[in-house]
Amino acid sequence: MLKTALSFSSEKAWDIEWETLSVSQVLNEPPLSKLNDIDRKFHKTFLYLKTFPEDSDYVLKLKRPIFKEEEITEEISIGQFMLTAKLLGKKYPSHVILSQGFLPGEIVQVWFETKKGKEKSPIFEIQPHPNVEEIPGSSIKLAAELVSPLYYFINFEGFEENEILEITSFSWDERLNNEIKYQKKMGLGFSPAVIDKDRGIARLKVKRKKGGDSLTLVLPWGQSLMQYLTEEGRPIQEKFTPIKGDIQG
């Protein structure tokens, strides 16, 4: 029988792990699939508190830089952490964030505080609603980060150093073509906005000259993003490789 471990830190330190899993992966991974009895529409980010300062209650805080709004807060008791861990079959106190209400590619800043605010974890970033495209069986990936409603930053991963990539973008009736030479940790700024339009669905295609493999990102912009703030805003894609991270401090 799995027991949840409470590891309070005498040095008031935090050790937090997180992973963002796609709808399709959660559906096929018991006991995580138990969450589908509650909600089967959205991606889920799991937060695991491996070590944290002792208190009876904690406050989860989220900040959404793209909206420049005040912090979102949620008070969580030790009991709630443990119940979630038991449901998920996890060793450590746990919490779940749905992708519902978050924009595709949006970066969210996250941290925990003790209830009275004396102790605060390091701030870390998650992407509750990833917008990525991958070539199956390889490390090649495009990941879109939404910087503003009219601007994306595209991260390239797994391509060969100095290989030539053909870039084609489509937004309304505008089509742009370019070639670039890939360098490690390279990124690309992309604005899909079109004059006299307040919304749209752009597509950014990256094709490898070597081998001909291609990836295409779907990039909603302007008012077309607003649907994702509602319950009707289903994930932009069903499947992606798990995204994981950790923070100590």
Encoded tokens for 202: 């752009």
Task: Examine the domain organization and report whether 110 and 28 are in the same domain.
Answer: yes
Confidence grade of residue 9 (pLDDT, cut at 50, 70, 90): low
Q: Which domain, by its residues, includes 121?
A: 15-129
Measured between alpha carbons, how far is 67 from 171 in angstroms, rounded to an integer?
A: 24
- Predicted TM-score of the model (pTM): 0.91
Residues 112 and 41 in one domain: yes
Output phi, psi for 89, to 5 deg. Answer: 70, 35
74 lies in the same domain as 88: yes
Reply yes or no: is the peptide bond before residue 130 cis, omega within 30 of 0: no
In tens, the pLDDT along 71-85 reads: 899 999 999 999 999
User: Of all residues in the chain, what percent carry a pLDDT higher than 90?
Assistant: 73
Per-residue pLDDT of 93-122, as tens digits, reads 999 999 999 999 999 999 999 988 889 999
Domains contained in the chain, number: 2
Are 106 and 145 contained in the same domain?
Answer: no
Same domain, yes or no: 136 and 100: no
CATH of the domain at 100: 2.60.40.10
